[in-house]
Amino acid sequence: MTFKPKRIIFFGDSITQQGVSKNGYVTLIKKALDSTRYDIIGAGIGGNKVYDLYLRLEDDVLNKKPDLVVIYVGINDVWHKQTSHTGTDYDKYFKFYQALINKIQGAGSKVVVCTPSVVGEKKDGTNELDADLNKYAQGIRNLATKNNLPLCDLRKVFAEYEAQNNTEGKEKGVLTTDRVHLNEQGNKLVADQLLPLVK
């Protein structure tokens, strides 16, 4: 019997799209795992919201028959409400998120969920979208509990890291390049958090 490596797909938006770059979190996870035992695939597309993931789930994820899918989506669902009024309402977001989980599990794959990280790096509660992000993050925590799924609580981890390492209250440059997308340290932090959950 031939040994089949564990196939893991990272499913998300531009943060995951950039995650496959040289110092991206997907690349860091790939480097940390034995390539004969793990097959790592990045499936991130810039600007994606939960509905976009739902629409491309079949082609970009299920057809590849993954053993595990890591869902990291939510920043655009919140952020785009402010920037272009095309975000995703809370109820709709979780309806589609649950549908994603159901379809992935129905196809026989395991799921790991992530809370959205940051839009702005100042102290939690002082960035414009913190209240919304915290609400959506709590919803994902509840979803993880309800579905008995492993949770990567990036929202909490980022807030704790910023509290210790961003005493000047910078808006960007600690874990992100532009308030949202990850810099080298941000990618490392995400990789360190996800690695134990995907092994």
Domains annotated for the chain, with CATH where assigned, are 6-198 (3.40.50.1110)
What is the spatial distance between Cα 159 and Cα 177, in angstroms, rounded to a whole number? 16
Give the 3-state DSSP-derived string for the chain, with helices as H, strands as E and coil as C. CCCCCEEEEEEECHHHHHHHCCCCHHHHHHHHCCCCCEEEEEEECCCCCHHHHHHHHHHHCHHHCCCEEEEECCHHHHHHHHHCCCCCCHHHHHHHHHHHHHHHHHCCCEEEEECCCCCCCCCCCCCCCHHHHHHHHHHHHHHHHHHCCCEECHHHHHHHHHHHHCCCCCCCCCCECCCCCECHHHHHHHHHHHHHHHC
Residue 9, both tokens: 């797909």
pLDDT tens-place string over residues 12-60: 999 999 999 999 999 999 999 999 999 999 999 999 999 999 999 999 9
Those residues whose C-beta lies under 8 Å from the C-beta of residue 89, and which sit 6 or more positions away, are: none
For 58-81, what is the mean pLDDT?
97
For 82-103, what is the mean pLDDT?
94
Q: What is the side-by-side order of every strand in the sheet holding 6-12? A: 38-44, 6-12, 68-72, 110-114, 151-152
Name the pTM for this structure.
Answer: 0.97
For 93-99, what is the mean pLDDT?
98
Q: How confident is the model at residue 126 (pLDDT cuts 50, 70, 90)?
A: very high
The pLDDT of residue 2 is: 73
Check: CB of residue 174 under 8 Å from CB of residue 11: no
pLDDT tens-place string over residues 158-188: 999 999 999 999 999 999 999 999 999 999 9
